Amino acid sequence: MDPFSNMPTISIRGRKFFGRIVFGFFLLLSIGLGALSGLVFVYVSDLPQVSQLENYRPDVITEVYADDGQTIGSFAMERRIIVDYQHIPRNLQEAIISVEDQNFEKHIGVDFIRIASAAWKDIVTWKKKEGASTLTQQLSRNLFLTPDKSFKRKFQEILLSIQIERRYSKQQIMTFYCNEVYIGSGLYGFASGADYFYGKTLDKLTLDEAALLAGLVQRPSATSPTSNPKAALARRNHVLDRMVVERYITREQAEAAKQNPIALHVHQPNNDLAPYFIEDIRQYLMDKYGAQEVQEKGLKVYTTLNVAMQKQANAALTEGLKDYDRRHGWHGIEHNILQEHLGDLETYFSDDWKKPVVPGAQLTGLVVDVDAREAIVKIGPLMAHVVPPDFAWTKITSPLQIFHPGDLALFTIASVDSKTGTAKVSLDQTPQVQGSLLAIEPQSGDVKAMVGGYDFDTSKFNHATQAWRQVGSSFKPYVYTTALMQGMKPDDTILDAPVSFPSAGGLYTPHNYDGKYEGVITLRRALAESRNIPALRVAAKIGIKNVIDTAKAFGITAKMEPFLPTALGAADITLWEQVSAFSVFPNDGVRLTPREIRRVTSYEGEALEDDYPQVTEVIPSPIAREMVSLMEGVVQFGTSTRAKVLKRPLGGKTGTTNDFTDAWFIGYTPSLVCGVWVGFDEKKSLGDKETGARLALPIFIQFMQGVYDNKPPEQFFSEPPVVQKASNESPGDTEAPREVANPAPTKRIPPSGASNPKKSGVIAAPAKGVGKRISGQ
């Protein structure tokens, strides 16, 4: 019997049906593979080349350095510090891997097991809870792709990640990631986070600090330690727990790290030391190199600023303006939250209270209660009891005459007691007057300190470089320099007596500041006591046009009319030009154009710019030395005798304009020239007797005292000049303002292009016999 006789036979029709199924399967498979190939081709065709990473350099910070290498400012769209792999500590790498990509060392760029696990959890919970992107995927997304959520972007992300893993090592990928990832607060890369939050480099991070930074990647804003410390703490502890699970640390190490509070030392970009100077640098760089180069390419800018001098300048100008402001009385309370419906005493919060409450800080305080003995003031979390001695400068004796509940006032913090939650404060107010200070090293032209106003946040107008103001008697040295150039001597005499000069509008009859006349006096005494009549007689004798030519040779670019009042400072000149011009005297007649930048390099160190100041011989050395001798007389027995407290060789000149609208002092030692201007933005009087000697000179003195503290006196020249004291000495400390007929309005915008010596180093044609150029680059 046939063994197969009982088996069912497959009909021809059945075989055909089976064949069709097989054919259909392979057909669908072919179609699917073809579609996938087409999809890959389409998506890969516009896929970035991962080889670009070899030349990739992320945006980095442009840093500005002081003359000793300290960082004093920075500019950037993205705050970032680039580090090499060897500077990324192992505890940070382990924290990142634990919380972001636990299979980082094993996968090929895409963790398919984790993707499947995340997808299953999402299906079970019916919510998108699990993320499955590897570090490599995050890197490819951040560097090459848009943040939009689409199938195409996700597919390209996977392809890119696989390519990156094939081309680069795990160490290289980790380095790329640590320099690129965003962690909030404008910070890119973990090195910038370590610097900003802790003021340290990556390799100095402790375990808990590394865990906090690693935890910021997922939700930077929500877990920021500055704005949401509770969430940041919880996230940090979660990272530590994950490190235990991944066996990078023990449970004991994690628990010990959790005991540490979040101790931040927020390290803000140091643009606050010299904001006007830094802004000047920024504008120059933007004009020359462009916004992209400055904000993204990480230039290195080496400047001339001296940190110690700048601190002294800041303090001197601030205190000088506040002294003047207090001398002119209490402004009164400007805002009351109850009257203006800004909130209530319990819940009101001032933005000022986000700042550190530390001694010396000036903060807004809210008056919550007041009686005849004291006012209770709230300043953030602290309370202060303000009693009459704390506002004695106002000359008001009762708190009830100043304060009312709901008042907002400015207070200076004297001390803080964190245990009792109290602070000792004094009432303060923001000066309405403005001022500026500029210090230049005459031998190099280096700008060592610059303060352009009382508060940069309130007004970014730089009064040191942009304010064109009448300079008063500080112009007179150009008159006497011209006289010496024409053969006159310091001890030649001139008549100080009433006089009238012919002018286009009739007779011009000037006066001395004190209304008195001293008869025949020497040129030395006339300059020292700032007598107006002698200066005008000298100018008339030597020719006002010659005086103007001399001023131009000194670097003054202002428009100066050929009329006698110009000799008394009728021209509008910037502090920048005046200080630079006065540097000629202690530098033996030679002027170096001021410079703020010594060198600019690329991020890699390639030199882009080296600034060498232009050098010009303005006047002969003997004339410069005679002028120093004359201007030493201003300090020794003239209008600036209070500067003798500095106890060192010093020359200078005060300046006061009509109606006391501007107060000046420009002075110098052998190694430093410093100028101070005080006035209002609008042209109005500073008040009766508010002269350069009373307002600007004390600021100069305080600055110089700080600069030269415990330093031996310097001599101007190898043979120091002997100052001959006048026979009938004046007590000094008074200043003669010049008379101006129809004064020109104050200019507020500096000239542009080559007419601005600050940027171009170009000076006007010199007078005959002065201004010989001896070198320059």
Looking at per-residue confidence, does 358 or 121 come out higher? 358
Strand order across the 772-775 sheet: 590-592, 615-617, 772-775
The yes-or-no verdict on residue 564 having pLDDT over 80 is yes
Determine the average pLDDT of the residues in 380-392.
94
Beta strands in 78-184 (DSSP E): 79-80
Query: What pLDDT does residue 77 have?
Result: 73
Give dist(CA 619, CA 584) in Å, integer.
8
* Residues forming a β-bridge with 449: 439
Q: Which two tokens stand for residue 682?
A: 């609008």
Residue type, 601: T
DSSP state of 337: T
pLDDT at 738: 33
Q: How does pLDDT run across 306-324, given as a tens digit for each residue? A: 999 999 999 999 999 999 9
Handedness of CA 768, 770, 771, 774 (dihedral sign): positive
In DSSP notation, 1-27 reads --TTTTSPPPPHHHHHHHHHHHHHHHH
Closest Cα to residue 691, out of 713, 670, 665? Answer: 665
Tokens of 728: 């009938």
**Cβ neighbourhood burial of 367 (10 Å; 0-12, 13-18, 19+):** buried
Percent of the chain with pLDDT over 90: 66
Instruction: Write out the two tokens for 705.
Output: 């005292």
Supply the DSSP string of 193-247, one letter for each residue. Answer: HIIIIISS-GGG--HHHHHHHHHTTT-TTTT-TTT-HHHHHHHHHHHHHHHHHTT
How high is the pLDDT of residue 37? 52
Mean pLDDT within 232-256: 96
**What is the pLDDT, as a whole number, of residue 107?**
84
Residue 688: how many other CB atoms lie within 10 Å: 8
The full DSSP string for 400-455 is GGT--TTEEEEEEEEEEETTTTEEEEEEE---S-EEEEEEE-TTT-BEEEEE-SS-
Name the least confident of 211-215, 500-504, 588-592: 500-504
pLDDT at 485 over 50: yes
Residues of the chain above pLDDT 70, percent: 81
- How far is Cα 539 from Cα 550, in angstroms, rounded to an integer? 12
CB 770 within 8 A of CB 595: no
- Closest to 746 measured CA to CA, from 669, 664, 679: 679
The radius of gyration of the chain's CA atoms, rounded to the nearest angstrom, is 37
pLDDT score of 740 more than 50: no
pLDDT surpassing 60 at residue 336:
yes
Distance CA 509, CA 428 (A): 45
What are 29-83's pLDDT values in tens digits? 665 555 545 444 444 445 556 666 666 667 788 999 999 999 999 887 778 888 9
From the candidates 63, 94, 100, 690, which is the catalytic residue? 100
Q: How confident is the model at residue 768 (pLDDT cuts 50, 70, 90)?
A: very low
HEC letters along 726-740: CCCCCCCCCCCCCCC
Distance CA 777, CA 774 (A): 11
Q: Which residues, including other chains, have CB under 8 Å from residue 346's CB and lie 6 or more apart?
A: none
Highest mean pLDDT among 19-33, 99-113, 732-746: 99-113
294 contact partners, CB below 8 Å, separation of at least 6: 62, 75, 282, 285, 286
pLDDT tier at 145, thresholds 50, 70, 90: low
Residues 6+ apart with CB under 8 A from 554: 478, 581, 584, 591, 618
What does the alpha-carbon distance between residue 247 and residue 435 come to, in Å, rounded to a whole number? 62
At 270, the pLDDT band (50, 70, 90 cuts) reads low
Answer yes or no: is pLDDT of 381 > 70. yes
What DSSP element (H or E) covers 550? helix 544-553
Q: Which two tokens stand for residue 454?
A: 């009382």
pLDDT of residue 721: 39
Tell me if residue 713 falls in helix, strand or coil: coil
Going by pLDDT thresholds of 50, 70 and 90, the confidence category of residue 144 is: low
CA dihedral 90, 95, 96, 99 (to 10 degrees): 160
How big, in percent rounded to 5, are the helix, strand and coil portions of the chain?
Answer: 40, 15, 45
pLDDT at site 761? 33
**Phi/psi-derived region of residue 192, left when phi > 0, alpha when psi is between -120 and 50, beta in every other case:** alpha
Segment 611-640, tens digit of pLDDT: 999 999 999 999 999 999 999 999 999 999
Helix, strand or coil, per DSSP, at residue 688: coil
135-139, 230-234, 713-717: segment of lowest average pLDDT: 135-139
Token readout for 257 is 């790290």
Question: Which of the pair, 187 or 756, is modelled with greater confidence?
Answer: 187
Strand partners, 469: 573
| More confident: 35 or 566 | 566
Amino acid, single-letter form, for residue 588: D
What are the φ/ψ torsions at residue 463 (nearest 5 degrees)?
-70, -15
**Pairwise CA distance, residues 76 & 296, whole Å:** 6
* CA–CA distance, 226 with 302 (Å, rounded to integer): 32
3-class SS string, 492-543: CEEEECCCCEEECCEEECCCCCCCCCCEEEEHHHHHHCCCHHHHHHHHHHHC
The active-site residue out of 140, 473, 583, 640 is 473
473 in catalytic set? yes
Residue 652's pLDDT band (cuts 50, 70, 90): very high
Higher pLDDT: 18 or 323? It is 323
pLDDT digits (tens, 9 = 90+) for 279-313: 999 999 999 999 889 988 889 999 999 999 999 99
Rounded to the nearest integer, the mean pLDDT of the chain is: 85
CA dihedral of 207, 212, 218, 219, whole degrees rounded to 10? 180
Q: What is the pLDDT of residue 718?
A: 59
Q: What is the mean pLDDT of residues 238-259?
A: 96
State which H helix or E strand residue 773 sits in: strand 772-775
For 395-434, the pLDDT digits (tens) are 999 999 999 999 999 999 999 998 899 999 999 999 999 9
Please, are residues 728 and 560 in contact by the beta-carbon 8 Å criterion?
A: no
Residue 384: the pLDDT is: 96
Among 359-363, 487-491, 564-568, the least confident range: 359-363
- The arithmetic mean of pLDDT across residues 193-199, rounded, is 91
Distance of CA 623 to the CA centre of its chain: 40
Dihedrals phi, psi of 146, to nearest 5 degrees:
-85, 160
Greater confidence (39 vs 20) lies with 20
Q: Is the pLDDT of residue 241 over 70?
A: yes
pLDDT of residue 126: 52
Query: What are the backbone angles phi and psi of residue 326, rounded to the nearest 5°?
Result: -70, -35
Identify the burial level of 149 via C-beta atoms within 10 angstroms of its C-beta, where 0-12 means exposed, 13-18 middle and 19 or more buried: exposed
Give backbone dihedrals phi and psi of 44, rounded to 5 degrees, phi first.
-80, -25
Q: Is 131's pLDDT higher than 60? A: no
Q: How many CB atoms lie within 10 A of CB 625?
A: 19
